[in-house]
Structure 1
Amino acid sequence: MNRFHRLLLSVSTGVLLSLPWLGFPGWVLFIAILPLLYLENFFFKFKEGFPPVSLWGHVFLASLIWNVLASWWMTKVSLVGVGSAMIFNAFLMSLVWWAAHSIRRKLSSPLGYISLVVFWISLEYLQFKWDIEWPCLQLGSVLGNNVKIIQWYEYTGTFGGSLWILLLNLFLFQLLRNIQFKKTLKKKLTSSTVLLILLVVPLGISFRMYSSYQEKENPINVAIVQPNVDPYNEKFDLEAETQKLDDFLRLADEVTNDSTDFIVGPETLFEHQTLWDEATFESNPFLIRLENFLQQYEKADMVFGVSSFEVYNKEEDITYTAQQNNGIIYDRYNTAMLFTKSGEIQIYHKSKLVAGVEKVPFQKYFSFLKNNYIDLGGASGSLGRQKDASNLVAEKAVIAPVICFESVFGEYVTDYVKKGADVIFVITNDGWWKNSRGYKQHLLFSQLRAVETRRSIARSANTGTSCFINQRGDVLQATNWWQQATISGSINKNEAMTFYMKHGDFIARTSVFISVLMVLLVFVRRFA
């Protein structure tokens, strides 16, 4: 295999991995890793002539192509910041393959392939847990573009999908090698049988679950407003803020009636720099207007997002994310608010913040970087956040207020539900990604969360896609991109607990444990 063929295999995997993120069916991933497996096997076969690092560069190229093609739309916010993240993520992906390839060389082929699977899943898990999260390229998540094949995620979560994809590629690779090298009929039949079972059984189970799943009738009526504000040309003065309020009330009035339980608006619907002081909400003129609006209807409450702030008067209350301006020390928050017609207010501060956008990674340890971040959402400086998920508790429902990026985190969303949430409201501002794959990819995560938790979702986006999502993950009444829109409908509450909600990302944690054992085994063999 010459250099051109090796590069061709690298590029092929990069492109194939990217296709589902570009709108192609998720099952493309069932064969996407095959070119790299052939390439890895070449370097293993001729290991006397190539050091382990030879594979690293080829995998880095494939990973970088995948990152760029699948996530290019993020560069609309910051070319330098997102570009750096892509390069770093590709580097981490290539390290996984290099480490697994090295174990295969030193120990055995089975251990090498096991290492590839558990190292990869461990890396995906790390991308959800550390301070520079980049979880949007998780293999199992993109299968959300066909919810009929992933109903079993209510047991495994998205890491079950990642495991499924990796195993399918490995066993298909083994079958093709058995055919290529004319292995015995018994070996061909064994590998083909295992592959067939691995493919058909999950699909059969999922199709059956999809067709037989019945939601318990326990409805609430929801009106969703999509105001379609351009975040790149948005103004934050009082006149502009008042206009946004006028537009929101006009749109809400189109779909609200006496049977409406909730009116839902998007993330950061209001963002005036001084208006949304949490200590003065009771006298906030906007909230007074919203309360007067609600008096027209029998039972409607509101859920929407604001850019709020909290002023600190005591030194012991000051957090590491706090900012100072004209002698005033305060934290800004990306906030979800429940506002009832009786004037009651409940708030939730977004916890999962976007690295480099809403927070400076590791700011707790590098506080001098606190103002060096990309402004996204009307605030300046890194945002404050609350540590844990909490619900908005209304008379008609217990709501999980999932804000934008938080919908990516499956295990985190289960925290809301374990605390009693019987429906999920996702509020987001997808206008930042313009008319790209970004807002379409973001929608997939809400579908995944519906399947994993079996909770109905009302999704309000600043612009397309606002929708309802049922407990099977089906998208209903989806709005169009870049249009003011309103929709109304009913969604069913659910109090049942799924296996995934009870046990979380057990596949990922198991992979981390096995990964540690693999590393220890390498050290023992090396120094024994």
Structure 2
Amino acid sequence: MAFVPFLLSIQNENSFGKYLLKTLVVYSFTIVIGFWWTGYYKPIAVLVCLLSQLLFLNLTFVIHFFIQKKIGWQKALILLPFLWSLVEWLTQPLPHNLQVLHLGYTQANMQYFNQIADFSGLWGLSFWVMMLNVLLTFSIVYRTQKYLFLTFGWLLLAFGYSFFKIQISPKSAIGTANIQTKVSLIQTNIDSYLPLDSVVLNQTFEQIVSLSDSAVRTQSPDILILPEATFPLALFQDSSLFQFTKNAISSWQTSVAVGYSEIIDNQRNNYKNKSLVFTPQMAMMWDSLKITPDQIKVYEKEYGLPFMETMPYLSDYPSFQNRILVGGNEPHIFNYLSSKENIFNVALTICWEQTYPQKVAKLVNSGAEYIALMNNDAWFGKTPATKFLLNITKIRAIENRRSVARCSNGGLSCFIDPFGKVYGQIPWFTPNISTNEVLLVTKKSFYTQHPDAFAYALFIAFVLLLSWFYWQSHQNTSK
């Protein structure tokens, strides 16, 4: 209900200057609250967030002002939820959009209200929240039972759908899934700001190996999942690193989802962020079958953090970290075997890619039975940054009705079920292991199959309602 005071304040506002000043103040304040944690990395990052996000976040209310001038406050307010969600949907793919402030993410912890995401995606959650604000505003202004009933009905709609999916008929969301795979998350805790020298490399390897070895000996998982860029070296280009990895996986007899960085151009500091599922079968047969690296299916991170990994609109220009992520575009699905010879299908995705709803839907449509998310969240310390990203991960799980195994260096590493419930969480900035069963799902949600359908429906409804309201206003003016 946070928008209610603002919506009330613009009821009789006719000056665009005063209106714009209100929105700029509100959004400037919001952005500082939403992104102050970026200053943990670099103080200038807060200013970059403010300047890069302010204009297009304010776009919805700028358009709303001119609609209100044409058709009046009440009718324009009815259209606001449609407009809000459409602007979020249209601006989401923009290269400079940090996406953390999308309205729907505020409902990530409201498990009994956010299950509509499996039908509408994030855009439906944003629509629902803004419409609730509009109905509450009307209830205050008009003080009629009609709007009180509509507000209650709007709450009941989301609650009823969520309660049905979670308590009454979970099979309608996830099918008859009952197969599980045992997964171990390996959370390291190495200071991301330390120079990448031999001491840091040794510390990193020691943590990875000791934790992985402990997980294999004590938990017997089907797969180990390591954080993003586990190895800051090119796995297949560094012969000693590759031999060590191959021998370790062969000895463990356990598949490992491992990430690594690969420099493409030293002079320009171009690099690729890669990951793969390295199976014991591949490790054991590598030499006898004379396997070469180019024959191995590897996933390449497609989307990087704007300004830090990529420079928006300037793909050949270094980011503020003085590097350029060269992105891939193939949604690989990896297979691995359990000790009982069951075949499991997992999609790997890396860090900031979780903020792209269509990206995750594409992975699930490609055959993923669950998602392994490999993160590097340690840059921002114990700030809201990691919690924001965890909320985003929850919505991706609900949208696609897929379990997510979320592994991060420093945390927050955890498991998320297809209904957005977190379990098996490791305390952040603690080197540790979490081993749990992960439910495999093959049923695809409506959103997964049609990720843009709800947005298209909103667009059609918006155009029809706007035309009808404009015609009504024109008729009233003529009379």
Structure-1-length-normalised TM-score: 0.79
Given the superposition, is the C-alpha separation of residues 134 and 111 from structure 1 closer, same or farther in structure 2, using an over 3 Å criterion?
farther
Per-residue CA deviations over 1:217-243 (Å, capped at 9, x if unaligned) read 21111111001111012x323453243
Write the mapping of 1:171-182 to structure 2, written as runs, cut at 5 A: 171-179=135-143
> Does residue 186 of structure 2 align to residue 230 of structure 1?
no
Mean Cα deviation higher: 207-216 or 396-405 = 207-216
Q: Is 2:167 aligned against 1:197? A: no
1:40 aligns with 2:10: yes
Q: 2:53–2:97: 8 Å Cα contact kept in structure 1?
A: no
Cα deviation code 1:466-519 (max 9, x no counterpart): 111112211111111211111112112111111110111333344456667899
* Mapping for residues 499-518 of structure 1, pairs under 5 Å: 499-512=446-459
State the match for 1:17 in structure 2: none
Report the Cα distance in structure 2 between the residues aligned to 1:361 and 1:390, rounded to whole angstroms.
25
Question: Are 2:15 and 1:59 aligned?
Answer: no
User: For 2:92, what is the secondary structure of its paired residue?
Assistant: helix
Distance 1:93 1:417 in 2: 29
Q: 1:362 aligns with which of 304, 313, 317?
A: 313
Check if 1:334 corresponds to 2:298.
no
Task: Report the Cα offset of residue 354 of structure 1.
Answer: 1.1
Q: 1:42 to 1:461 in 2, by over 3 A?
A: same
User: What is the identity, as a one-letter code, of the residue corresponding to 2:22?
Assistant: H
Q: C-alpha deviations, 1:92-113, integer Å up to 9, x for none?
A: 3333213212211123445422
AA of the residue aligned to 2:241: F
**Match of residue 474 from structure 1:** 421
| Percent pairwise identity | 21
User: 2: CA distance between counterparts of 1:474 and 1:236?
Assistant: 36
- Is 2:250 the partner of 1:295? yes
- Aligned partner of 1:384 in structure 2 is 326
1:310-321 residue pairs with structure 2 within 5 A?
310=264
Return the alpha-carbon distance in structure 2 between the equivalents of residues 271 and 523 of structure 1: 59
The 5 A counterparts of 1:433-444 are 433-444=380-391
Alpha-carbon shift at residue 114 of structure 1 (Å):
4.3
1:419-459 Cα shifts (integer Å, max 9, x gaps): 11111001101101101111112111221111111111111
2:477 maps to none
Q: Which amino acid aligns with 1:374?
A: F
Match of 2:225 in 1: 264
Q: Which residue of 2 aligns with 1:219?
A: 180
Which residue is equivalent to 1:306?
Answer: 260
- Residues in 1 aligned to 2:116 and 2:359: alpha-carbon distance in whole angstroms: 19
Structure 1 SS opposite 2:57: helix
Secondary structure at the aligned position of 2:38 is classed as helix
**1:391 positional shift:** 2.3
Residue type of the partner of 2:298?
I
For residue 459 of structure 1, give the secondary structure of its aligned residue in structure 2. strand
Deviations 1:282-308 (A, max 9, x none): x6322221222222334x111022112
Corresponding residue for 1:374? 320
1:463 Cα deviation after fit: 1.0
- In structure 1, the residue matched to 2:49 is 85
Unaligned runs of 5+ in 1: 1-30, 180-187, 311-322
Maintained 8 Å contact 1:398/1:423? yes
Structure 2 match to 1:253: 213
Is 2:186–2:208's contact at 8 Å kept on the other side of the alignment?
Answer: yes
**Amino acid in structure 1 at the alignment position of 2:421:** D
Q: SS where residue 256 of structure 1 aligns?
A: helix
CA positional deviation for 1:410: 1.9
The one-letter amino acid of 1:209's match is K
Give the Cα–Cα distance (whole angstroms) in 1 for the partners of residues 146 and 210 of structure 2: 65
Cα displacement string for residues 227-281 of structure 1 (whole angstroms, at most 9, x for unaligned residues): 1111012x32345324322220101111114842111100011113xxx175x3x
List gaps (5 residues or longer) in structure 2: 287-295, 338-342, 475-479
Q: Is 1:207 aligned to 2:163, yes or no?
A: yes
Structure 1's 136 and 331: CA in aligned 2 closer, same or farther, altered over 3 A? Answer: same
CA distance in 2, matches of 1:512, 1:387: 28
Counterpart in the other structure of 1:410:
357
